[in-house]
Amino acid sequence: AQKITQTQPGMFVQEKEAVTLDCTYDTSDQSYGLFWYKQPSSGEMIFLIYQGSYDEQNATEGRYSLNFQKARKSANLVISASQLGDSAMYFCAMREGLPGGYQKVTFGIGTKLQVIP
Amino acid sequence: GAVVSQHPSRVICKSGTSVKIECRSLDFQATTMFWYRQFPKKSLMLMATSNEGSKATYEQGVEKDKFLINHASLTLSTLTVTSAHPEDSSFYICSAKPPGGYEKLFFGSGTQLSVL
């Protein structure tokens, strides 16, 4: 079963506008975490933001904010004031526990964001 | 910020040879490292979770004897692709978890493996 679902294969946004990238997740764990990463064409994975399942406040990091709706199991990324350099693939990921106390992090299929001048 | 070094960045090898990829956490001790495989324009597929001093936990469908993972120290994990074949060609990327919580995972820069 898909653990992380990103339904937008591609998105366009005008420079300086805000954009929301969708992510829904599925887990039976009570304690889990959600990440967003950016992957430019160079291939590196750049950490953007993290939200723990017990965090009451939505996470924010500069122009990035995570709209965490626990009951709906969604963790959408909001990028404000888009810049040309924001054009990249964006991956939503989830940390959850395994038997034996191990943890694992799985990724969604990604959303390709293109910022238009 | 924390840095994870992954080498080599690119490797081309002949079919049947083995290739070792190293993942090092340069300024923190990584009790857990993850190995991913990424096909072009696709997501990262988790291959295995590597814990220092114990056997790696492989995801379903990943051949343990094909993809050997060793996490011998708190700063080094290696992935060896044994008897590589063209279908093993892919982008392999590691990530490391610093001590404490999971607020950040740090990624290596990836290794592009091409098997001829």
- Chain B's closest residue to A45, CA to CA, is B107
Chain A hits for B104, Cβ within 8 Å: 47, 50
Higher-pLDDT residue of B43 and B41 is B43
- What pLDDT does A75 receive? 97
CB distance B105–A109 less than 8 Å? no
Residue B2 banded pLDDT, cuts 50, 70, 90: low
SS (H, E, C) A2-62: CCEECCCCEEEEECCCCEEECCEECCCCCCCEEEEEEECCCCCCEEEEEEECCCCCCCEEC
Measured at the CA of A49, the angle between CA A43 and CA A53, to 5 degrees, comes to 125
- What pLDDT does A2 receive? 64
CB distance A45–B101 less than 8 Å? no
Backbone φ, ψ for residue A84 (5° rounding) = -55, -35
| Mean of pLDDT values over B26-50 | 89
Q: What percent of chain B has a predicted confidence (pLDDT) above 90?
A: 66
Flag whether pLDDT at B91 surpasses 70: yes
Token reading at B10: 């690119």
Chain B nearest CA to A83, separation (Å): 22
pLDDT tens, position by position, B60-83: 999 999 999 988 888 999 999 999
- What pLDDT does A1 receive? 58
CB distance B46–A105 less than 8 Å? yes
Quote the CA–CA distance of A58 and A70 in Å, as a whole number.
11
Which residues of chain A carry a pLDDT beneath 70?
1-2, 98-102
- Chain A's closest residue to B1, CA to CA, is A47
- What pLDDT does A25 receive? 96
Flag whether pLDDT at B31 surpasses 90: no
- What pLDDT does A52 receive? 92
Contact status, residue B108 vs residue B93, Cβ threshold 8 Å:
yes
Chain A nearest CA to B110, separation (Å): 7
- What pLDDT does A99 receive? 65
- What pLDDT does A31 receive? 87
| Mean of pLDDT values over B101-105 | 74
- What pLDDT does A13 receive? 97
